[in-house]
Amino acid sequence: MGARVGGQFDAVKMTGNTPPRKGRSTVASGGGGGGVEEAWLVAEAPVKKSHARAAECGVTVRFGHRGHFNWFVLLLLVLFIVLAVSITSNNDGSDGHEQREAATTVPPPPADDPADGEQVELVGECDMSSGRWVYDDVAYPLYEESACKFMSDQSACGKFGRTDLKYQHWKWQPHGCDLPRFDAARLLRRLRNKRLAFVGDSLNRNQWISMVCLIDTATPTLHKSMAGGNTSLVSFKIHEYNASVDFYWSPLLVESNSDDPVHHRVADRAVRAGSIARHARRWDDADVLVFNSYLWWRRPTMKVLRGSFEAAANAAAEGAHRAAYEVTDSLRAFELSIRTWSEWLELHVDRARTQLFFTSMSPTHLRSDEWEAGDDGASTNHQCYNETEPILAEGHRGRDTDPAFARAVEAEVARLAERGVAVRVLNVTQLSEHRKDAHPSVHRRQWSPPTAAEQAARARDPSSGADCIHWCLPGVPDVWNQMLYAHMAS
C-alpha cells in the first residue's frame, strides 16, 4: 500500500530558515554615515566656485527672482540624482553581502533537476514480486554496512562477527523487467518538503533503516540528523531538502498493550481493535505512508478490549468480575483491526496528496526441516544458523507465512479502492522466502544478558540463540525499498 511513514517522537516538520534581511535605509549615507545635509553640500560646492571665478574676471552676475528660481530647481535636480545613485549603490552592496552570508550559514536546498518530472518506467508488464535471485558481486551490495552512519545494531551483522558476506551480493531479478537502481537524489527531490513514514513493527523498522542507509550512503555531503531514540517516533531528517524519513512503532497498528517501544514483549497480548486515533495523530500528516503488521498476530488467540486500557486496569484493581475484554481467534482480531485501519484512511487521508503502501508478510526461517534433511533422512532443525546460500527451488513457502492474513489485507485494499483510496501492496513475501541466508542468526546485539539457562542451551546448541526473523543490512530489505522507490518514482 502506498503510504506515509511515522516514527517515535513527535515529528516536527522543518521549514526553511532564511535569515531576515536587514532593513534598508531610505536615506543615502554617501558612504560616510551622513544624511540629507551632506547631499546639499555636494550640490552647492560648484555653484560657489563658479560665482567667485566670475567676480575675478570682472563679470557681474545678477540674479533676478526668475534666476534664483532656476538655480533652485537645478539644485533640487542635482540633489535627486546624487540621492538616487547613493541609495542604489549602497543597497546593491548590502544585499549582496547578506546573501553570501546566508549561503555560508544555511545551505539552500539543491536546485531542482530539470529531469525531476521524468518517471522511472518498468519495461513491459512486470510483476516485481515474481522472479529469481541472481548472484552479483559487481553491482551489489548497494552500500557498505560500515558506511551507514545510522546503521542499527539489530541489522549490523558484520559488526557482530559475521565474516561470510556472500548474502550481500544477491540481486533480485523480476521476470520480464529489471528493478530500477535506487536513485537517492531523485527520491529526495520527490521528498522535498515532505515526510515519508514507516508505521508498524520491527520488520518495518528493518525496512526503514534500510531506506535511511540507502539515502545516507549515497549523499555523504548532505546535512542529516536522527532524533527520537527509544521513543515511539524516530525521525531521520535531510535538512537541505527539508525532508524526513520516519519510523513509528505500532506493531499491531491499533492500540495495544505492546505499544511501548522498549517494554513491549507482552505474553498476555491485548488490542483495542476499534481504536487507532492515538497512533494516527503521530503520522497523519505524512505524504508517504508505509504500513505493515503480521508477526505480532501469530498466536492462537488474542484479547480484544471492549473499552480503554485505563478502564480495564481500574476494573481489575477494583476486583470487578465482568471481563473487560473477549478472547478471540487472532485472525478475527486482525480482521477487526485492519478494518479500523482502512476506515481511518477512508475518512482522513488526503487522496490527492498521500501515497499509501502496505508491506506484505516478512517470512521467518525458524524450521530448517522445511528446506533440508539430515544424511540419514531424518529432519534437522538448526533454523537459519550457519546458512550461507538462498533456497533456489522455485515457489518455496514456509509454514510461518499464513495466507489468510494476506487475504485480509487484500480485501481491505480492494474495499478502499472502491472508495477512491489507492493503497499499493508491496508483495515481498515470496521473494524473501528464499533468503534463509540473510538473517542475523547469532551475529547480533544481545539486548539483555543471557540467563544461566540460556547460556547452557546455547553452549549445547548455538542455533538456539539465532535471530531468524530480522534481516542483515545491506540485504533483503534493500530490495523491498527498490520496489517502493520504483512505485514512488513512476
Neighbouring CB atoms inside 10 A of 163's CB total 7
Helix axes 65-105 and 36-56, enclosed angle (nearest 10)? 140
Is 175 among the residues known to form the active site? no
Q: Contact at 8 Å (CB) between 208 and 247?
A: yes
* Catalytic-role residue among 246, 284, 467, 478: 467
Write out the three cell numbers for 56.
Answer: 575675478
Is 490 among the residues known to form the active site? no
Q: What are phi and psi of 356, to 5 degrees?
A: -120, 135
Q: What are phi and psi of 411, to 5 degrees?
A: -65, -40
**In whole angstroms, what is the distance from residue 61 CA to residue 461 CA?**
119
* Catalytic-role residue among 86, 202, 293, 360: 202
Is 396 among the residues known to form the active site? no
Write out the three cell numbers for 314.
Answer: 481500574
The string over 313-329, giving b where at least 16 C-beta atoms fall within 10 Å of a residue's C-beta and e elsewhere, is: eeeeeeeeeeebbeebe
- In DSSP notation, 364-398 reads ----GGGT-B-TTS-B---TTTT--S---STT---
Neighbouring CB atoms inside 10 A of 142's CB total 22
**In whole angstroms, what is the distance from residue 423 CA to residue 416 CA?**
8
SS3 355: strand
Helix axes 403-418 and 330-348, enclosed angle (nearest 10)? 20
Helix axes 476-489 and 202-218, enclosed angle (nearest 10)? 70
Neighbouring CB atoms inside 10 A of 32's CB total 6
The vertex-286 CA angle with 285 and 287, nearest 5°, equals 120
Residue 252 CB-half CA count within 13 A: 32
DSSP β-ladder status, 195-200 and 288-291: parallel
Q: Contact at 8 Å (CB) between 436 and 480?
A: no
End-to-end CA gap in the chain: 15
- In DSSP notation, 395-439 reads T---TT--HHHHHHHHHHHHHHHHTT--EEEE--HHHHHT-TTSS
**In whole angstroms, what is the distance from residue 394 CA to residue 100 CA?**
60
Write out the three cell numbers for 47.
Answer: 555653484
The vertex-386 CA angle with 384 and 392, nearest 5°, equals 65
Residues marked active site are found at: 202, 467, 470
